[in-house]
Homo-oligomer: A and B are copies of this chain.
Amino acid sequence: MSALDLLPEAIAGTNAEAADAHARDLDALAAKLERKGLDADALKAKVAAFTVAIPSWGTGTGGTRFARFPGPGEPAGIFDKLDDCAAIHRLCRATPDVSLHFPWDGDDPAALKQKGDALGIGFDAVNSNTFQDQPDQAHSYKHGSLSHQSKATRDQAIAHNIRCIEIGAAIGSKALTVWVGDGTNFPGQQDFTGQLDRYLESAKAIYAALPSDWRMFTEHKIYEPAFYSTIVQDWGTSYLIATELGDKAQCLVDLGHHAPTVNVEMIVARLAAFGKLGGFHFNDSKYGDDDLDSGAIDPYRLFLVMNEVLRAEAKGANLAHMIDQSHNVTDPIESLIASANEARRAYAQALLVDQDALRHAQESNDALLASETLKAAFRTDVEPLLAEVRREAGGALDPLVAYRASGYRQAVAKERPVSSGAGGGIV
């Protein structure tokens, strides 16, 4: 028996217990929405259609350069990870797809596809890894990958990305996300422009290998692992790269990859306005790329981002929504459930914005009323609506409660080997 088999009963049981209170909360919310002229059913349909992909690597406990503290029952490989992703989706019904990372997730597309099909899990964008060295690797990425001074190293990194596309094509993915750590730690270490030229040349070789119905996502990040300069340091460079590459190239916005105080929702709007917004890596942050749980630190910012998502989608944008977090002190399954819920919450709140009132306030320069219009939507407690969407899709009214009740983690802890804390010790 798989640990996944523990879930249906836990879902049914906890749903039954919560049914009454849920019904009352839902009624109250529906009445309130109705008073505002909103149709709860239409909202539910839109919320149900909003899904986020789970990163396979997010199911393991993350860490920092100082240490990694494993938890019980950590996934030992990609098949365990896919089990965990399936568990998440069965509970929250918001995460039908998984985003894979290679070579972390092996090189056996047939087995991946088979496992995914068996679990009812699909595959979102595939991710290449040229920021680490693998044991059997000919050329080191210590001094860069796609932008490396040496053509042999660049070619190796290009070949890896093309292999990612091949695997992705075999499992039904439609996009490649390219994030590299290339950069410098010292002024002068590399010439900014020469480095970017080499990067562009490499990226073009990868782009040329894209199937016709694929997209290639370029992702910016201000710093880390490089600490003086990073080659795709901001959305400006990301936009220029995507533009150089062509129509299939778009920009991915990781919410935590910006300088302090930067207005991220505005960057989303800019990329959308110029036709290059491809999607998101959701997470939250207080200091840097903290990779904290979505909405854990600044839920209003997430709501403001979702406002721009809605505007972009209204204009026809096809956005890839993915979570990218590091779960250092929680059960990763719980964090991913909560984060998917937070993303949907912010999306649902954004759906409640009175667009006519907002437009009127903007046109009359009524800043306060515009602000209040957004906040009125934000402070609506949409949790009953989110719960109902889950329930209708077979999920849990309260997925965390159901998960804890299921004993899933304890069950897999018995089956899976104890993970080491490897990764610590670099200071």
Contacts and interface: CB of A to CB of B under 8 A. Distances in A.
Interface of A: 21, 24-25, 28, 31-32, 35, 57, 62-69, 104, 131-133, 140-143, 149, 181, 184-194, 196-197, 222-225, 227-229, 233-237, 239-240, 258-263, 265-267, 269-270, 272-274, 285-288, 290-293, 295-301, 304, 307-308, 311, 326, 328-331, 334-335, 338, 345, 358-359, 361-365, 367-375, 378-381, 383, 400, 421-427
A260 B263 contact: no
A269 to B, nearest CB: 4
A272 B66 contact: no
Contact of A66 (B32, B131, B228): B131
Copies in the complex: 4
> Which of A239, A267, A297: most chain B CB closer than 10 A?
A297
> Which of A290, A363, A380, A424: most chain B CB closer than 10 A?
A424
A143 B67 contact: no
A227 B290 contact: yes
A285 to B, nearest CB: 7
A38 to B, nearest CB: 14
A69 B141 contact: yes
B423 A423 contact: yes
Contact of A193 (B28, B311, B372): B311
A188 B358 contact: yes
Given A273-B193, A298-B298, A64 B225 contact: yes
Contact of A287 (B24, B65, B224, B234): B224
Which 8 A/B pairs are nearest by Cβ-Cβ distance?
A: A236-B236, A69-B142, A259-B259, A192-B269, A227-B290, A186-B371, A63-B426, A423-B426
